[in-house]
């Protein structure tokens, strides 16, 4: 879905102040309340805005170690492996990939020693053939979406 500058401003405002009400949002954006609500509804229904939940830092919860595990799985075991990994709380993300592995997952752990426990739990499933793990040293560019939102709005202006 293409977004325009008003959509981008609305998303940026929500990113900065996720608890803002629609009336205050409309005031700050300089549009009618109905316009702000319609834009918000459209962005949600099209899947651009997926939620309004809190951003939680795993390190603040006691999980300061982050790692990525590349998994090779047995042919035909994808659904079972996905279900297994969905049951491991320390698996924060799972992606199916091309290249050297079949899946890439982001893991967290309480310590390097605890990471071994997490990896053992992840690979302790018959459908996983091999795993290769890399520990994250630092995260100089954390997950960010706003620059992409701004670029998408600029791209629409060019077309």
How high is the pLDDT of residue 54? 83
How high is the pLDDT of residue 52? 84
Which of the four pLDDT bands, split at 50, 70 and 90, describes residue 155? Answer: confident
Contacts of 62 (CB under 8 A, 6+ apart): 110
Q: Are 122 and 69 in contact (CB under 8 A)?
A: yes
pLDDT at 77 over 80: yes
The pLDDT tens digits for 130-148 are 999 999 999 999 888 999 9
For 129, the enclosing helix (H) or strand (E) is strand 128-135
The pLDDT tens digits for 15-33 are 999 999 999 999 999 999 9
pTM: 0.84
Taking the C-alpha atoms of residue 35 and residue 74, their distance in angstroms, rounded to an integer, is 51
Phi/psi of residue 41, each to 5°?
A: -60, -40
Q: Which domains are seen in the chain, by residue range?
A: 5-54 (1.10.10.10), 58-135 (3.30.70.920)
For 115, the enclosing helix (H) or strand (E) is helix 112-123
How high is the pLDDT of residue 102? 97
For 10, the enclosing helix (H) or strand (E) is helix 5-16
Which of the four pLDDT bands, split at 50, 70 and 90, describes residue 156? Answer: confident
Q: Are 131 and 71 in contact (CB under 8 A)?
A: yes
Q: How many Cα atoms within 13 Å fall on the side-chain side of residue 157? A: 11
How high is the pLDDT of residue 158? 78
How high is the pLDDT of residue 34? 97
């Amino acid at each position: 879905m293409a977004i325009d500058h008003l959509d981008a401003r609305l998303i940026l405002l929500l990113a900065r102040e996720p608890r803002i009400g629609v009336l205050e949002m409309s005031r700050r954006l300089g549009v009618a309340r109905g316009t702000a609500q319609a834009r918000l509804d459209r962005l949600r229904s099209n899947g651009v805005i997926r939620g309004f939940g809190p951003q939680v830092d795993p390190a603040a919860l006691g999980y300061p170690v982050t790692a990525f595990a590349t998994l090779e799985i047995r042919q035909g075991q994808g659904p079972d492996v996905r279900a297994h990994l969905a049951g491991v709380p320390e698996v924060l993300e799972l992606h199916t990939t091309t290249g050297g592995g079949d899946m890439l997952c982001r893991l967290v752990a309480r310590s390097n020693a605890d990471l071994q426990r997490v990896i053992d739990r992840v690979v302790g499933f018959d459908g996983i053939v091999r795993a290769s793990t890399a520990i994250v040293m630092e995260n100089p560019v954390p997950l960010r979406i706003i620059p992409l939102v701004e670029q998408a709005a600029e791209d629409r202006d060019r077309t």
